[in-house]
Every structure is written in structure tokens, then in C-alpha cells.
Structure 1
């Protein structure tokens, strides 16, 4: 039996973008922009996406398309005889599983908030009351488990329907709805009275703000965000390369995915900054921005319950598109490694992921005494650190070395695969840059992650 293919190029682009578009764009991006100086930060971030993110995505796609396998076997197929590149598969697979250990919980919160918004749970509450609502969700492991399980079952059942009929069809619908909802919410936000200062902060670069925060800090935050928004380095993108035909060159496809990913992050800012400015709310409030700050904003707004419900529906789609894409990867690991059926891979992994997601749920209540990074930290922080600061950068390093080193797959093989088909070609002139410069930048991100966590 041949490998299943995407039925259309649009399907491939939307699903790859769906994998990249997730909480990184719509949950992390706005508050990081808020913390690191607004529009000037956005420019630096966009530059890093192209200089750093793009080459690594092209490499992941190439490894996937050339091997016709997921990360579980792609290195085995392509590596020179007698080399040990295939050990990377265990780290890539671990990355997908650990990512889902906390992502499913946050996706569950978003789904729960759709119902809370629609039901009117926040109506009439002041800022402390809204924060209290989120606190009571965190304190209730049963409720969090139910919504986490709903997300896990929903996304795995999409994978069980197969690539074309399930993942491609439903992700396409989710992505079209997501883009439509974003446009509606952004237009609504931009037209708010009093939202202008927020728009200026977001769209008018003021490099003085970067000096206030510290140039080094801003550059590192932009590097990190460009990296994590794309979830590169754990084979999450390579899988989609394995489902695409050779008609189009991979650089052009990667650019399309990058543009869509950036557009969604940009629109999320358009939704959030004017709204925060209109109601005098600090936009750099960290992860609580979505669950505490924004319900306050919707409370003040005419038709706030309607807009709030729409917003959380859109957030749930963004999270579910990523979860489905990563689940597709996890199912593919199982079928590639054991040759089992898709249905069996889904059933086994559904149980595995449900169990693995429990520590994150319990980390906010029954296990809240466990503080891996000191006061105020929890299980989610530890899991995020394992993926974001370790598996993503180190995995990216392996892909970079594999595609450029003569002891790996080699630059010529990579270039031939990346440039097969119509469309934008990967330039041979950047060989030295991708071989020596990007790996150093990635190592810097890795070391800096530890430095800022443990020594600052």
C-alpha cells in the first residue's frame, strides 16, 4: 500500500500552517510583543522567521518528502550506512508526546471558556472576579480532565478518519473558519473607541522602547518566538513533507506556510492591542492575558458575550489544528514503526496521551506543591521547558547538520530534494550560512534558555 497523499496543495499548506498556527501565535505572541516593545519587536521577529525558521522548515519538509516516512523512520531511510542519525527519532517522538502533555490541557481550557463565555459566567464581574473564575477552573482537576479528554478524543477521532477524509478535510474547514473569525474580530477591535494608542504601539516602530527593555533581551525573545511558533525540530513538519508530491519546490511551500502563520499572529495582535488600550488594560501580562485580561475586555464591550464566545471558538480552532497535526504525527510514528493499522494506533495513543496529560492538570491543584523552578512554577512550566528549551532547538540542530554535513544526508541531496518541482528554489549561495551560522544561533538559543532560567 502506498503512502496516503494530500488531495490538494491547499490542503497541505493549510494543514502545515495549522500545525504552526497554535497557541504560539495567538496566546504567546501578543503578550510577548506587549512585553518587548511593540512594533519594533514585530519587525525583528519577522526577520528571524525568514532567516532562521524558513531554512529549517525546508529541511524538515525535504527529509519527510525524500524518505516518505515520519520522523520515526526518515533518518533510517536517508542516513549513510553505519551512521547513527536514526537515534534522533526517539527525541523527535518524545518532543511530540511531551508537547501534547500540556498542549491538550490548555486546549481544554479554551474549549471550556467557549461555554463559560456563551453561558455568561463573566457578566457583571470585576477584574478580580474574572481572575477568580480562572482560579476556580485551575483548582478543579475533574473539570479540567473532562475538557482535556474532550479535546484528545475529538482530535484523535479526526486522525482515525484518515489523512484525506479526516485530517485534511476537517483542518481545512477549521482553518477557513479561523481566518474568517480573525478578520471579523480584528475589524471589530480596530474600530473601537479609544483603541488608537494600542494600534500605534503595535504598528508604529519605536526603537527607543527596545532600548528601555534591553536590546539583547528583545533580540533573544524574538529569536525564541520565531522558533517556537513554527514547532520546528521535532519532525512535526517533516510528516507533511512525506504526504506531498514532487510537483512544487519545497521552499515556495514553506514560504506560504510562513506567511499564513505570521498573518495569524499579526491579526491576533490587531484583535488584542486596540481592545486592551480601549479599556486601559496592560497587554504584556503574560500567559494570563487570554484567560483573565480578555474576558474583562469582553465584559465592557457592547455584545461582549457574543464577541467573547467567538474569540474562544477561534482560539479553540487554533489549538485544535495543532493538536490534530501533532496527533497525526504520533499516529504515523506507530504505523511506520510497527506496521499496525491507523485505528489501532489511534486507540492505543488516545489512552497514552490521556494518561500523559494528567500531570499537567494535577500540577495546578493536587500536585501544586511541586515547583520545579522555584516559587510559582508548576508541571506545565517544566514540560514547556523540556520542549521549548531543549527538544526544539536540539532537534533543529540535528536537521541542520543532517542536511548540510557530508557525514549525514549531505547538502547536495538536500538541495536536489528541496528544489524539485516548480516554484521558488532554495539558493545554493546560502550553503555556508546554513552550515555554520544557523547552528551557532540555535546553540546560542539553547544556552541562553538555560542561562535565563537558572542564572538570571
Structure 2
């Protein structure tokens, strides 16, 4: 593929960055956390946008813009040949997510079809209260999440859609798709937010969402949740913005692009929260029930509780269609840059783009199959590589500190930027993010999701437990050790031609 391929204008890359950042996490994780902790969480989440996410994204964007290669190629040029294994880890970590993220897209298609089916029954006069019970919705979720051939088929279909878009290239494929996907997504979020606020009692949820309880500021869990949500939602440390910026124009404004896309991502999260939290409060029997729903977990909230709530009000099935339509757009728009990262890696190895797209899609279909077939496998991969993104973030920070943050800002970030952030802000953020990253990894692994996080009662390394630390560390080590062993080979294959 020609290296001259690039986005046609600033909006092309901003929309691509928004598509990368605005994903399923905005619609299923943010509302749960905002509903649980209210305005205190939102304040801290906004703070971490500027402390963690924006500085790391600025660094990633400037690396991709300067070296215009895949994550491995650009990173090894930036950090030095000894550290190519770090770029290798960042790439495989994000690919680990891409392999199961198409399953999220498949679920969204399942529920979009489910919502349309029940909407048609609603207009035919069916009593949705009797056919949309909690038990039925839970059984439906359990059925599609485990051993369901339709889910596997939709997983492959989603990848087929991605192939159709990405074979056309960045300008004629990814950019044109985002011009439709992102505005449509925001319109749907605004529509569903307006409808939710007009449900009787919805204002209670809005007050709760933005109400600040000072006690939450003394809870370290709220701080960690705010940091992790900002890190994962914006895509800081994923390598995706490094991939997209490789297609940026020579004089692209690094700072303005990152600020606009980051704030746009947060606006999408706020809209999703306004759409869901007031609905939960308005349609729950009591405030206690509403809190119970919001704290029931990401998947439970999205796939079992939201349909139940929407089906309980006049016109609710239509609202459900809009919600899952938005959910599909968010999931699919984020899937595209993940596959593009894979494609860029393959084209760096000398493959033509169309062949690289097909290989990337086939690999995603094969390696994503276990997650499409088993919810336990999906949850394990989400756990392993979700936390792994923090390691990736630290790997972005490390060479920046080694080279010198002032040098990077003066030579790589500021030259083409009309908007320039203070040098001190960038420097302090990058240094304190080392501590934030280490604390986040330590805290996440110490939460005790598994009763036997390291060893079984028999003293066996508990690698096959869904949420065990042993499983996380084993998979990380496999990637890190293979990267170290292949470091010289990686440099040879990805060196600048």
C-alpha cells in the first residue's frame, strides 16, 4: 500500500479518532459507574482525561505522524531498536481486544434484531409485559452468549462489513464510513437522551447522575474507576491513534485533534449516561431498585435490564431499537480502527492492502471464535487485555521520559499545533502517570475477582480461571517473552525501508 494514502482533511482524522474512542464502553460501562458514584465520579473522570489520557494520546499521535508506520515500526523508530518488543506488546494487546470486540458487535446486532422483532409485536398489540419478563431476557442473554451459532455467524458478518469498508482504503473506506457512523451515532444518543428525560421521574436520575457526594472523593475505588474509564474509553495506550495518525497530513495539528476527539468522546459518554440513568430511575420501583440495576454489572445492565425497562413503558420498544442501533454503531465504528491496526502491521511487512485486510479479518474470525462461543472466554480476554492496556500506556510513557518530554513536545507535538498546552502540564502529567499506571495495575489485580487468584487448593497455577491473576500474568508473559526473543527479528522486518 502506498504510504501517500492519508485522510483528506482534519475532520477525517478527528472523526476517525472519535470512532476509535466512542465504543461499547461509553454505552455500557460509563452509565454504570456514573450511576453508582454520581457527580464525584464524573469530576474525577474529567480530571483524568487531562492528566492521563490527553498527554498519552498527544505522544501517540506525534509518533504516528512522524514515522508513519505501523505501531511496531513507529514505536521501534521512536523508542530505539532495543525496545521494539514494547511496540510488539502494544500491538498484540490491542489485537487481543480486536479478536473479541467483533463479538460485542455481534451481540449488538442480536439485540437490534430482537428489539425490532418485539417492536413489531408491540405495534400488533402484543402485551410486552408478559413476553419481556426478566427471566425471559436473562435466558435470551445466556443463550446468545454461550454456544450460539447465530452469534458466531454475526461475529463473522461484522468482520465482513469491516472488510467491505477497509478494502477501499483509509480515505475512501474508513473516512467515508466515519462520516456516516459518527454523526448518526451522536444523533441517536441525543434522541434517546431527550426521550429518557421526558419519561416521568427521569429528572430524578439526572439529579442523581450529576449530584456530588463528597464522601466518594475519599474512596480510592472511585479514583481508580475514573482513571480506568478515561484510559480505556479514550483509547490512550491502545496504539490506535498512533495507527490513525500515520495517515495524517504532514502539517496536521496534533494538539487540537487530540483535544477535540477526547472531549467529543466524553460528550458521547455523558449523552449515554443521560439516556440510561434517568430511564433506570424513572422505570424502577424504587431508588434502591434503580441502584441495584445500575450496579448489576456491564453486561447485565446493557443486555437484560435495559430491554426490560424499555419494554415497560408505552413506546419503549422503539426506544430500545434506537438504543441498540446506537450501540451497534458505537461497537462497529471502534472495531474498524482495531482491524486497521492489524492491516497497517501487515502492509508494513510488504503485503498489498486488500490481501492484508482479508488476512486480518480471517485471523479475527478464527481467534475471536472462542469468545463468540463462550462468555467465560470472552470475559477472560476482556479481563487480561483490558488491564494490559495500562501496561501499554506505560510503554508509551517510558520512551517519552527516556528521550525527554520537553524535546518531544518542542519537536514533535508543538511545531504544527495552533493550540499549545503548557510544557509544565505535559511534563508533570507524564511523570505522575507512571505512578498512576502502576497503582492501577496493582489495584486491579488485587480486587479478588477470583477466589483463587494465583494457585488452586491443590497448589496448581490457576491459569484457566476466568478472572485469576495467574491467567493475566501468564498471557502477558507469553507476549512479553516472545517479543523479547523476537526483538532483533522484529527490528529487521519493520525497519524503515
TM-score if structure 2 supplies the norm length?
A: 0.83
Q: Give the match for residue 481 of structure 2.
A: none
Q: Distance in 1 between matches of 2:436 and 2:94?
A: 23
Alpha-carbon distance in 2 for matches of 1:248, 1:138 = 43
For the residue of structure 2 that corresponds to 1:351, the secondary structure is helix
Counterparts of 1:53-452 in structure 2, within 5 Å, are 53-80=53-80, 83-120=81-118, 123=128, 124-208=131-215, 210=216, 215-280=219-284, 281=290, 282-287=293-298, 288-336=300-348, 338-364=349-375, 378-390=376-388, 392-406=389-403, 411-430=406-425, 432-452=427-447
Please give the alpha-carbon distance, in whole angstroms, between the structure 2 residues aligned to 1:386 and 1:415: 36
Q: Is the 1:249–1:421 contact (alpha carbons within 8 Å) kept by the matching residues of 2?
A: yes
SS in 1 for 2:359: helix
CA distance in 1, matches of 2:334, 2:197: 27
Q: Look up the match of 2:28.
A: 27
CA contact (8 A) 1:403 1:414 kept: no
**In the aligned structure 2, how far is the partner of 1:415 from the partner of 1:323?**
33
Q: Deviations over 1:5-60 (max 9, x none)?
A: 1012111111101101101211111112223x112211111111111111000000
Pick closer, same or farther for the CA change 1:78–1:44 going to 2, 3 Å: closer
Alignment partner, residue 10 of structure 1? 11
Instruction: Note if contact 2:185-2:330 (Cα within 8 Å) is conserved in structure 1.
Output: yes
SS at match of 1:322: helix
Q: For 1:229, what is the secondary structure of its paired residue?
A: helix
How far 1:75 sits from its partner (Å)?
A: 2.2
C-alpha separation between the residues in 1 aligned to 2:379 and 2:314?
36
**In structure 1, how many angstroms separate the alpha carbons of the residues matched to 2:406 and 2:401?**
4
The 8 Å contact of residues 196 and 278 in structure 2, kept in 1 or not, is answered as: yes
CA contact under 8 A between 1:418 and 1:426: conserved in structure 2? no
Q: Distance in 1 between matches of 2:408 and 2:40?
A: 38
| Unaligned stretches of 5+ residues in structure 1 | 365-377
> Aligned partners of 1:358 and 1:455: how far apart in 2?
24
Cα 1:199–1:410, aligned 2, differ >3 Å: closer, same or farther?
closer
Q: Quick one: distance in 2 between partners of 1:264 and 1:77?
A: 34
Instruction: Give the stretch that moved more between structures: 300-309 or 221-230.
Output: 300-309
Question: Secondary structure, in 3 states, of the residue corresponding to 1:199?
Answer: helix
SS of residue paired to 1:306: helix
Cα deviations across residues 79-100 of structure 1 (Å, max 9, x unaligned)? 44xx412122221221122101
CA–CA distance in 2 between the matches of 1:236 and 1:223?
Answer: 19
Deviations 1:353-401 (A, max 9, x none): 101011112223xxxxxxxxxxxxx2122211221212x1111111112
Hey, what's the Cα distance between the residues in 1 that align with 2:170 and 2:395? 27
Q: Which moved more, 1:378-387 or 1:315-324?
A: 378-387
Contact persistence 1:4–1:243 (CA under 8 A): yes
Q: Alpha carbons of 1:53 and 1:67: their partners in 2 closer, same or farther (altered >3 Å)?
A: same
Structure 1 Cα separation of the partners of residues 68 and 356 of structure 2: 19
The CA distance in 2 between the partners of 1:422 and 1:443, in whole Å, is 31
Aligned length: 433
TM-score by length of 1: 0.91
Distance 1:119 1:152 in 2: 24
Q: Which runs of 4+ in 1 moved over 4 A?
A: none
Contact 1:30 1:284 in 2 (8 A): no
2: CA distance, partners of 1:265 / 1:59: 23
Task: Determine if contact 2:55/2:426 at 8 Å carries over to the other structure.
Answer: no
**1:414 shift after superposition:** 4.3
